[in-house]
A = this chain, B = another copy of it.
């Protein structure tokens, strides 16, 4: 009943009484991020972090009561890396830059989307980012709800794009294969599908696809998204 632990961000970093802490939440988060970046999310264990910091696993629990809290601080720490530019007045261009920054972040920390999923992130860094994001779409006649909707549209599309972008590579990595070996494993199945003749579009993909670079695909998809955004903006400011 009375045992409800407060959210991680409300726990004081410095103790009132005892010896000074040797580590810090941010330091632990940074170590965890390094491990996840280098060896993948499945390599991230409390013991591994502790080993990296040359201490015992249970030490970490003085800073983060559960692994769930570790994820929380990792997320916020990573989101803190996004650099923000002040709004230029050109919403379309500002959102385009934001989209590219987000894609770079998600590619730099490939574990990020998996950890972010199903969690709502509202640490200090994320809260600060939110302010900067909203500033980009403010002043164009949109209410706060629509401002959110517009930003969410862009962010969600970027997230989805990067998910697809890294899905194959991640599948290969998880199974311990290189990309070539992984494709060698899946190719026969695709052939088998094609031979049934029931997948005409799949066949078209195989021999019509232009294999545009991911950068090009990103830019083109983003253009579509921003067209949707601009359509919405024009609805709210018919002037000029």
**How often does this chain occur in the complex, in copies?**
2
Question: Could you say which of B120, B175, B204 contacts A171, with CB atoms under 8 Å apart?
Answer: B120
Whether A131 contacts B6 by the Cβ 8 Å rule is no
Whether A127 contacts B210 by the Cβ 8 Å rule is no
Whether A224 contacts B149 by the Cβ 8 Å rule is yes
B contact residues around A120 at 8 Å (CB): 164, 167-168, 171
Whether B153 contacts A157 by the Cβ 8 Å rule is yes
B contact residues around A148 at 8 Å (CB): 205
Give the distance in Å from the alpha carbon of A118 to the alpha carbon of B159 in the complex. Answer: 12
Give the distance in Å from the alpha carbon of A161 to the alpha carbon of B151 in the complex. Answer: 12
- Which of A43-51, A95-103, A181-189 lies at the interface? A181-189
Question: Could you say which of B117, B161, B171, B205 contacts A144, with CB atoms under 8 Å apart?
Answer: B205
Whether B227 contacts A186 by the Cβ 8 Å rule is no
Asked if A195 is at the interface of the complex by the 8 Å CB criterion, the answer is no
Per-position 1/0 for A31-63, Cβ under 8 A of B:
000000000000000000000000000000000
Question: Could you say which of B68, B174, B201 contacts A134, with CB atoms under 8 Å apart?
Answer: B201
Per-position 1/0 for A142-165, Cβ under 8 A of B:
011100111011011101110110
The verdict on A217 contacting B127 (CB below 8 Å), with A160-B160, A189-B122 known, is no
Please name the residue on chain B nearest to A173 by beta carbon: B118
Question: Measured between C-beta atoms, what is the minimum distance from A112 to chain B in Å?
Answer: 11
The verdict on A155 contacting B150 (CB below 8 Å), with A122-B189, A127-B193 known, is no
A-B contact pairs, 5 of them (CB 8 A): A6-B185, A10-B189, A118-B167, A130-B199, A143-B208
Could you tell me which A residues sit within 8 Å of B by CB distance? Answer: 4, 6-7, 9-10, 68, 113-114, 117-120, 122, 124, 127-128, 130-131, 134-135, 138, 143-145, 148-150, 152-153, 155-157, 159-161, 163-164, 166-168, 170-171, 174-175, 181, 184-186, 188-190, 192-193, 198-202, 204-205, 208-210, 212, 217, 220-221, 224-229, 231-232
Q: Can you name 20 extra interface pairs (CB under 8 A) apart from A7-B186, A118-B167, A130-B201? A: A6-B185, A6-B188, A9-B189, A113-B118, A117-B117, A118-B166, A120-B171, A127-B193, A130-B199, A131-B198, A131-B200, A131-B202, A134-B201, A143-B210, A148-B205, A156-B160, A224-B228, A227-B228, A228-B228, A228-B231
